Chain A
Amino acid sequence: MAEISATERPADLLDRYRLNAGLSHGDLWLRYFELGGMDDALELEAILCGALRPSAHDREVIAHALNERFVELGGNHPVPYSESDAGRRREERER
């Protein structure tokens, strides 16, 4: 299995995406809640910083909340929707 460095762990990436999107934790939580997210703000923060592992569904909701923000800023869905999606994208980058 390929080793992922500490700075490239998927959970870390989520919070880095949040920072790049210029969203506070509160802003992202409201967007996540709006899209049907069920976790509270503290749980979301724990997921973003890697202390909690999200369910596949939660991961999808968080990714979409971030991606909608990136689309508003002129981007194109940069956040992977699942961990396997993230792995696939990493492999593509490495090739």
Chain B
Amino acid sequence: MSRRGAELTTAKDRFGEFAITVGFENARAVLAIRGEVDRVNAPELGAILDAVIERHRSVVLDLAELGFMNGWGLGVLAARASRFRRAGGTLTIRSPSAVVLRLLDITGVAEVVLLENSDPPRRHLGAEQSSEIAEALLGSEPYQLPPHAGKITAIPADTDVVDGALRLVVALARATVGGADGASVSLRRHGHLATVAASDQTIADMDASQYATGEGPCVDASVNGRWFHAESLDTETRWPAFTPRAQALGINAILSSPLLVEDRPVGAINIYSRTAMAFAPKDQELASVFAAEASLILASAGVDVTDEQLSSRRNEALATRRVIAQAEGVIMERAGVEADDAYSMLCDYSRTSNRPFRERAEDVVASTQRLRLGAESEVRQSHCG
């Protein structure tokens, strides 16, 4: 076991098992959290906070005995802090460690809560702690995004709190993925991709080049929901308009992993390097862990995947379905066949002509219009004649 791993174990021993103690102090409810908040117990913390928030307007979270809190805990806290503020209550966070304080700060949670310190910070955040955070995020088991993460804590958090959490993920990815010179998170908002967190201006420009050209690993990962790896831009052929722009900014390797909410791609986390072949398989794994963390933050915050784009896509699907049903009816009547056979005939038309099903169905429906107009004109002529 590495030395850092041993220290983590020691830390866990020092803080003990996860437990929450509820007490009262000058008309304030005080929740003391002990141990580590992770994916297993974060929902429990959320449920207790929900119950307390309903009954008390002034709540203190005492974190003096908290060992560590990963993305799950942070997501729960961010959502409740936001809800507390909207309800006009006061949430005070007491004695956070330097690491937790930094997390609260970066994610913007620190701005919506009161901070209270009874002890000096236990630690200072440095390179070693960054690695510690990364290890804690990784956990001991392979990370798996739960299938219904969005439903566990679907309480909408403020956009700025979510963006803050994503900035944290970017900072951690930049610090821990080997060979990374920069990282960013792109999200689809109002039907367009936009960078919500970037480690520096060059990286923000890299993302912007992809949106402008409509191509690149970030765009593809965001649309197709799978990861894209450009090992070396010198030999890259998939994105002819974007690649020269990236090279002009000194970038030579890119790794984009999709962010998924309810199984739908909503954006991507992008890691850039100036060095070709910079990313090894273990870096890809690490990138996917950060993508899972960022996805989780979005799911916990109840990011709306039924945005206008999706709803217009659903309307389109309904319209196509209607046209296909009409075309089926026309073929059934004309050819004297059953519905399934009519469908198969439409399918054959579509396949042999290599044209989309919808277009073939529209042709069939339109043909009845021509027949109707022809018949009307015949009727008119016979009346006039």
A residues sitting closer than 8 Å to B (CB atoms) are 22, 24-27, 30-31, 33-36, 56-57, 60-61, 64, 67-68, 71, 76-77, 81
Interface of B is mostly: helix
Q: Are A30 and B263 also in contact (CB < 8 A) when A22-B224, A60-B347, A67-B351 are? A: no
Q: Give the contact stretch, choosing among B70-78, B182-190, B312-320.
A: B312-320
Are B321 and A34 touching (Cβ within 8 A)?
yes
Q: Determine the distance from Cα of A27 to Cα of B264 in the docked complex, in whole angstroms.
A: 8
Q: When the two chains form the complex, which single residue of B226, B316, B325, B351 contacts A36, counting CB atoms closer than 8 Å? A: B325
Closest 8 CB pairs of A and B: A34-B317, A22-B224, A34-B320, A57-B340, A24-B263, A26-B263, A36-B324, A24-B225
Rounded to whole angstroms, the CA-CA distance of A34 and B315 in the bound complex is: 10
Q: Chain B interface (Cβ within 8 Å of chain A)?
A: 224-226, 260, 262-265, 313-314, 316-318, 320-321, 324-325, 328, 340, 343-344, 347, 350-351, 354, 356-358
Q: Are A60 and B357 also in contact (CB < 8 A) when A30-B313, A34-B321 are?
A: no
User: Total A-B residue pairs with C-beta atoms closer than 8 Å?
Assistant: 56
> Within the assembled complex, what's the spacing in Å between the Cα atoms of A74 and B97?
55
Q: Which of B313, B325, B354 contacts A71 (CB 8 A)?
A: B354
Query: Can you give 10 A-B contacts (C-beta < 8 A)?
Result: A24-B225, A24-B264, A25-B263, A26-B263, A30-B313, A35-B324, A35-B357, A36-B321, A56-B340, A68-B356
Q: How close is A86's CB to chain B, nearest CB, in angstroms?
A: 15
- Whether A60 lies near B321 (C-beta < 8 A) is no
Interchain nearest-CB distance for B260 vs A (Å):
8
Residues of A within 8 A of B344 (CB): 60
Shortest B106–chain A CB gap in Å is 30
Contacts A30-B313, A35-B320, A71-B356 supplied; 16 other A-B pairs, CB < 8 Å: A24-B264, A26-B263, A30-B317, A33-B317, A34-B318, A36-B321, A36-B324, A36-B325, A57-B343, A60-B344, A64-B350, A67-B351, A68-B357, A71-B354, A77-B351, A81-B351
